[in-house]
Amino acid sequence: MNGAPRQIVTPRPSMSLSIPSGMAPVEFFNSPANLKNLAEENGLLRTPEDLLMYRKLIGHSTEFDTSIMLDTSRRILDPLGRPVRRDQMSRTEKRTWNRMTQILFDYLLEKYPDPAKHLILCGEASLDSTWPLNKPGVPSIRMIHNHFMCFPMEMLRNAEIADANDPNLTDSGHHSLFLRHLSGVYHEFLEVLDLQIMSPIASEDCQLELTGYPQGLPSWVVNDGPERLQDQYFWHEYEQVLRGFLDFYRTFFLLVANGEPVIPSNANFPNQITNVLLSNPLFPRVARDLREKVIQDPQFANDIRWRPAYKQILYRDDRGRLVVTISQNSVGNAITELLGIVVRRVEDPEGYAAIEPDLVNRLLEARQRLVAANLGEPLSAPNWPGDRFVATLGEE
């Protein structure tokens, strides 16, 4: 079978929130009122660092779908002042973040041990605070989050083929601003990373056979498998991948913005920027072409993320290996689309009600791992006042 992206349809319930008259949805979704409602209606666990685990009500998977968000809405009222990347988190926040990620991913590995039957992944994303609040396509909650998902492979095999030209698919060969022409330079630049636990791997060697994704992205395989996720140094290396990405992104878009080669003041690898990026004639040429298009095309200019926005994922490939990859966070693309899965979420209260009890009970089972590790306090919600799903009044 030739790999091709898949499109699945996921039911979601009706939304009960009322948006004030005259207020755009994305403006409301960034408000402290909405974030308070998110915790009260869908919250699963909160840590002392305000890391909030919650149920993804409008989610991607009906098998397992939860997120951890650094919920600073009660401390930082300005949405543009909230942390949106891991490098903006405190040491304590990152330590707890990494531990929660390891525990939840371990749960997925134990619950779904066969890569032929289930695709498991977690995806960390920056929600860029540099765009206007009311711009279409901007993520609705401006805080860093990590998304944990599982998809039955049988469901993906039976799904319809997605349009390969769907602009939401991040294949890094067709829809990425800089990788379209700079994939080779990008890969060469990231060779500076001194990694011991992770080893570079060609993206075609870790593509999912079913979808043929990821495509063109720099990727690393985790040596020695899942047990290395408990190694603190793995998370140091995981962050080095992000730091390399940030240097590349900032250097390129500074060149686009100013027209002059500049090493970012907060560069992590300044020598590599000089020796690999700014000395390569292709790098400034692509930036110059993009700069000209920005000047001439206002709609194109409005789509560019001038500040770093990324999606970094950890997934299990067909051979059972754990693989790390990173991409820029393009307009509209979801975590799943890095792996060739397009999710169309449709309002279907009855369909969602049929899968909700089992889905929520799996989330509560995973939550218990975090409680047992003394990482936070469990939260009650209308559908889980305790440790099991309970239908609220009016539900079947």
Domain segments of the chain as ranges: 6-176+188-229+309-378
- Res 396 pLDDT > 50: no
Residues 314 and 209: beta-carbon distance below 8 Å: no
Which own/partner pairs from 281-289 qualify as long-range (CB within 8 Å, at least 24 positions apart)? 282/181, 282/182, 282/185, 283/182, 283/185, 283/252, 283/255, 284/255, 286/178, 286/181, 286/182, 287/252, 287/255, 287/256, 288/259
Distance of CA 156 to the CA centre of its chain: 20
- What lies within 8 Å, CB to CB, of 164 at 6+ separation is 4, 5
- 161-172: average pLDDT: 78
Kindly report the CA angle at 46 between 44 and 48, in degrees rounded to 5? 170
Lowest mean pLDDT among 128-137, 158-167, 323-332: 128-137
Question: Residue 367: which pLDDT band, with cuts at 50, 70 and 90?
Answer: very high
- Res 270 pLDDT > 70: yes
- Res 107 pLDDT > 90: yes
Q: What proportion of the chain, given as a percentage, has pLDDT over 70?
A: 90
Lowest mean pLDDT among 34-43, 143-152, 254-263, 365-374: 34-43
> Rounded distance, CA 214 to CA 172, Å?
8
- 359-388: average pLDDT: 97
State pTM to two decimals.
0.92
Question: Residue 339: which pLDDT band, with cuts at 50, 70 and 90?
Answer: very high
Predicted local confidence at residue 179, as pLDDT: 73
